[in-house]
Amino acid sequence: MHVIGGELKGRKLFFVQNRNVRPMTQKVKEAIFDILRDRIEGAAMLDLFCGSGGVGIEALSRGAARVDFLDLDVRTVARNVEALGLADRAGIHRRDALRGLRWLAAQGRSYGFIFVGAPYDYPKVEEVLRVIDETGLLGPGGVLMNEHRRGAAFPSAFPSFHESRQYQYGQTAITLYEAALPEAAGEEPSGT
């Protein structure tokens, strides 16, 4: 595994190979950043179920302002962040996903990009999405990507964000959700 774009292009990433970790393929990672294009520069990002941190590190390489990495085992991402000199732009949080999301919200965090890369057999992805919605962690105009097994079903809309598209790559699918932009102050809502 290596960084595929930005200032760290070509740098190697450490990762642990075992049956509980499913490293993202280079093809899927390339597709994610092709979809996001100019939405990364200057953004705050949350890499949830971060594993080795490949998605968040790719975002930092491409100009993200800060990435919070959250997972139960953060040893590999910590090693990658340190080796690549990214510690000043990264927060590494060893926490359960649901408690970690609530903790980040209590810290006043908000993100322009959230990546949810839960293990395919993780049973609480819908609850994770609901907590992100309820806590306001996805900022106005933000993007959430939920990576999951092809064929898995999730709600298409939550009060603060809605599904805009789904992409499929072999057995992997990425559901893209977008948060609405706030209406400009003083503008009358448009209607027909």
The 10s digit of each residue's pLDDT in 57-100 is 999 999 999 999 999 999 999 999 999 999 999 999 999 999 99
Q: What is the pLDDT of residue 18?
A: 60
As assigned by CATH, the class of the 6-179 domain is alpha beta
Please state whether the predicted TM-score (pTM) of the whole model is above 0.75: yes
Least reliable range by pLDDT among 9-13, 127-131, 138-142, 186-190: 186-190
Asked if 73 and 15 touch (Cβ cutoff 8 Å), the reply is: no
In the structure, what pLDDT confidence band is assigned to residue 155 with cuts at 50, 70 and 90?
Answer: very high
Asked if 125 and 115 touch (Cβ cutoff 8 Å), the reply is: no
Asked if 166 and 176 touch (Cβ cutoff 8 Å), the reply is: yes
Locate 7 and state its tokens.
Answer: 């200032």
176 bridge partner residues: 145, 165
Q: Kindly tell me if the per-residue pLDDT of 21 is higher than 60.
A: no
Q: What is the pLDDT of residue 186?
A: 43
CA angle 147, 153, 155 (to 5 degrees): 95
